[in-house]
Structure 1
Amino acid sequence: EVTKSVPSPKGGTVYDQWKKSQEEGRGRGTSTSASNVVTSVDNDVKVDALGSGSDYTPFIQHIGVPATDIGSSGRYGVYHSVFDNYAWFVKNADPTFVYEQQQARVFGLEILHMADADVLPYDYQAYGKAVEEYISTAKKKASTDGLTLNFDSAAAAAKRFETAGSAIRARQNSFSGNLKALNDNLRAAEGAFISSQGLPNRPWYKHVIYAPGEYTGYAAVVIPGVNEAMEGGINNKPDATVAQAQLGVLTEALNQAAQILEDAAH
Structure 2
Amino acid sequence: MTVAIVTGASSGIGQATALLFAKKGFQLSLSGRNETALAQVVKECINLGLKQDEVTSTVGDLREENVAKELVQHTIDKFGRIDILVNAAGILVSGSVETSSATDYDRQFDINVRSVIVLTKFAIPHIVATKGTIVNVSSIAGPCAFPGVTYYCMSKAAIDQFTKCLALELAPNGVRVNAVNPGVIISDVHRRAGMSEEEYAQFLERSKATHALGRVGTADEVAEGIYFLASEHSSFTTGLLLTIDGGRGIMTPR
TM-score normalized with structure 1 length? 0.26
Larger radius of gyration: 1
Q: Which structure features the higher share of strand residues?
A: 2
TM-score normalized with structure 2 length? 0.27
Q: Which has the higher contact order (CA 8 A, sep 6+)?
A: 1
